[in-house]
């Protein structure tokens, strides 16, 4: 049995352990507290940077980790979901653990976790594993992104006063758990801010900005508002696409706050420039497949899809792309026609099925196709088999192909491409 198979075997009992959305039941924090207790309360031993938001969490986490690493700090990074390998979820100084080390340490952790009365979910187990491991390694900082939401998220066990919070862009996502009102969603994101914390964010819409101001005032936290004009004025960000400029600059402001507080060394211009060049899986991933240029990006909600497609339209003006698209069944897609029309040639609506944190299903291809056609898009083809959908896209005259909508779709197609099946 391969090491990957051994890791999958260890994790299999924790997949879909709760059978539905954890935040909906409100018990994820209870499971995490129980898990931390039987593993020695490692979350109390870590200085953390905690990131919540609808869009940009993972990219901001990667940039934050890299900035701290370049300042000669040892840095743990915990992200989700993974795109290619589960080891992506637990990284040390910008690198996933080796398969061998991941397996060895995971066995030890699961041995401890089996003493927990409340069985953790897949996400909770891997998150707890990262926290436990980084406490064991005595890292200087641990960067953590929420699963989603914040208030009831498993990651919200992080409540030390020296925690720094980063709030990225906010939009509609996971409404079944977080609520239909944007202020309700914002309240969940603001829930990661606790007494003594510093929270950094861009100025938000007038509907939701008061939510964060009130939370900070209520719990006794410091709120730092970043000036968006600095995105344009900053001389180090020309190489980044628009949405990554926002993410990097927010991470840089958070790093500056920590460097000032903890007296870390300042980073030179060449080093800052280098931190922008790190590889972030599934975010504007560009590569060639035969004569085609492929972009893969896990833009899995309306806000992210609109931002991605606008970026592509600006980067590849007057060039049409074949689109391969699949979204989760619980997604609110909004009106994508405005963003898709300038970019899309043919759109191949497809599906995926996988099990990781929970059993996940794609929106049926026929249903999503109907929704897009009702928005005025005519060149939409329903093709539930994602391998076949990708093959059809490769047969089109368009030189550019965009694969998007779900990290699960990206993960499955990348595996197929790697195996030569596409």
- Judge if 297 and 227 occupy the same domain: no
Taking the alpha carbons of 406, 407, 409, 413 in that order, is the dihedral positive or negative? positive
127 part of a folded domain: yes
Mean pLDDT within 44-51: 98
Provide the residue range defining the domain that includes 40.
3-275
| 64-79 pLDDT, tens digit each | 999 999 999 999 999 9
- Judge if 319 and 180 occupy the same domain: no
- What percent of the chain has pLDDT above 90? 63
291 part of a folded domain: yes
Mean pLDDT within 174-199: 83
pLDDT given for residue 355 in this prediction: 59
pLDDT given for residue 172 in this prediction: 65
| 77-128 pLDDT, tens digit each | 999 989 889 999 999 999 999 999 999 999 999 999 999 999 999 999 999 9
Q: E strand or H helix at 123, and its extent?
A: helix 122-137
- Judge if 185 and 293 occupy the same domain: no
Last residue of a domain, one of 228, 257, 275: 275
- Judge if 342 and 295 occupy the same domain: yes
| 119-153 pLDDT, tens digit each | 999 999 999 999 999 999 999 999 999 987 899 99
pLDDT given for residue 23 in this prediction: 46
- Among 106-110, 112-116, 196-200, 289-293, where is mean pLDDT lowest? 289-293
pLDDT given for residue 175 in this prediction: 47
d(CA 140, CA 68): 9
- Judge if 205 and 299 occupy the same domain: no
- Judge if 119 and 175 occupy the same domain: yes
Concatenated DSSP letters of 220-243: T-EEEEEPTHHHHH-TT-TTS-HH
- Judge if 155 and 198 occupy the same domain: yes
236 part of a folded domain: yes
Mean pLDDT within 161-182: 77
280 part of a folded domain: no
- Judge if 246 and 362 occupy the same domain: no
> What are the φ/ψ torsions at residue 239 (nearest 5 degrees)?
-80, -10
Concatenated DSSP letters of 21-85: -HHHHT-HHHHHHHHHHHTT-GGGG--EEEEE-SBSHHHHHHHHHHHHHHTT--EEEE-SS-SS-
Mean pLDDT within 379-383: 95
- Judge if 252 and 290 occupy the same domain: no
Last residue of a domain, one of 275, 300, 323: 275
- Judge if 237 and 178 occupy the same domain: yes
Q: E strand or H helix at 249, and its extent?
A: helix 242-262
pLDDT given for residue 36 in this prediction: 97
Q: E strand or H helix at 91, and its extent?
A: strand 90-92
Last residue of a domain, one of 226, 255, 275: 275
Structure-model confidence comparison of residues 419 and 272, the more confident one: 272
201 part of a folded domain: yes
| 301-357 pLDDT, tens digit each | 777 888 888 889 888 888 999 999 998 886 666 777 777 888 999 999 999 977 565
**Selection from 195, 193, 189 nearest residue 220 by Cα:** 195
**Selection from 83, 45, 38, 115 nearest residue 410 by Cα:** 83
CATH of the domain at 154: 3.40.1190.10
- What percent of the chain has pLDDT above 70? 92
d(CA 212, CA 335): 28
134 part of a folded domain: yes
- Judge if 89 and 123 occupy the same domain: yes
232 part of a folded domain: yes
Strands 141-145 and 48-52: parallel
pTM to 2 decimal places: 0.91
pLDDT-derived band at 4 (thresholds 50, 70, 90) equals confident
CATH of the domain at 319: 3.90.190.20
d(CA 300, CA 298): 6
- Judge if 266 and 305 occupy the same domain: no
Q: How many separate domains does the chain show? A: 2
pLDDT given for residue 340 in this prediction: 85
Query: Per-residue pLDDT for 165 more than 70?
Result: yes
**Average pLDDT over all residues of the chain:** 89
CB 393 within 8 A of CB 402: no
């Amino acid at each position: 049995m391969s090491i990957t198979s051994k890791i999958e075997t260890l994790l299999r009992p924790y997949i879909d352990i709760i059978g539905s959305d954890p935040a909906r039941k409100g018990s994820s924090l209870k499971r995490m507290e129980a898990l931390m207790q039987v593993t020695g309360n490692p979350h109390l031993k870590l200085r953390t940077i905690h990131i919540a938001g609808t869009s940009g969490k993972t990219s901001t986490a990667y940039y934050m980790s890299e900035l701290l690493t370049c300042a000669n700090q040892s840095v743990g990074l915990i992200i989700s979901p993974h795109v290619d390998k589960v080891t992506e979820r637990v990284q040390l100084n910008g690198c996933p653990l080796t398969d061998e080390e991941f397996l060895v340490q995971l066995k030890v952790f699961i041995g401890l976790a089996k003493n927990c009365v409340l069985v953790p979910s897949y996400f909770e187990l891997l998150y707890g594993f990262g926290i436990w491991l980084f406490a064991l390694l005595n890292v200087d900082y641990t960067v953590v992104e929420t699963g989603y939401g914040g208030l009831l998220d498993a990651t919200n066990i992080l409540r030390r006063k020296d925690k720094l919070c980063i709030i990225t862009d906010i939009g509609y996502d996971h409404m079944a758990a977080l609520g239909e009102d944007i202020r309700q969603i914002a309240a969940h994101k603001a829930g990661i801010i606790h007494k003594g914390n510093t929270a950094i964010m861009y100025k938000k819409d007038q509907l939701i900005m008061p939510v964060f101001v009130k939370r900070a005032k209520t719990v006794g936290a410091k709120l730092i508002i970043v000036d968006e004009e600095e995105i344009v004025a900053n001389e180090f960000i020309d190489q980044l696409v628009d949405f990554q400029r926002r993410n990097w600059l927010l991470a840089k402001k958070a790093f500056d706050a920590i460097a000032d507080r903890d007296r870390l060394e300042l980073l030179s211009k060449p080093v800052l420039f280098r931190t922008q060049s790190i590889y972030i899986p599934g975010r504007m991933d560009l590569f060639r497949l035969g004569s085609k240029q492929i972009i893969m990006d896990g833009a899995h909600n309306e806000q992210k899809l609109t931002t991605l497609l606008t970026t592509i339209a600006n980067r590849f003006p007057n060039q049409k792309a074949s689109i391969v698209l699949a979204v989760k069944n619980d997604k609110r897609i909004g009106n994508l026609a405005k963003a898709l029309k300038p970019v899309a040639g043919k759109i191949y609506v497809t599906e995926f099925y996988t099990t990781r944190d929970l059993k996940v299903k794609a929106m049926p291809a026929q249903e999503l196709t109907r929704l897009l056609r009702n928005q005025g898009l005519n060149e939409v083809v329903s093709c539930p088999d994602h391998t076949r959908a990708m093959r059809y896209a490769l047969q089109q005259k368009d030189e550019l192909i965009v694969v998007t909508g779900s990290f699960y779709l990206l993960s499955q197609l990348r595996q197929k491409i790697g195996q030569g099946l596409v």
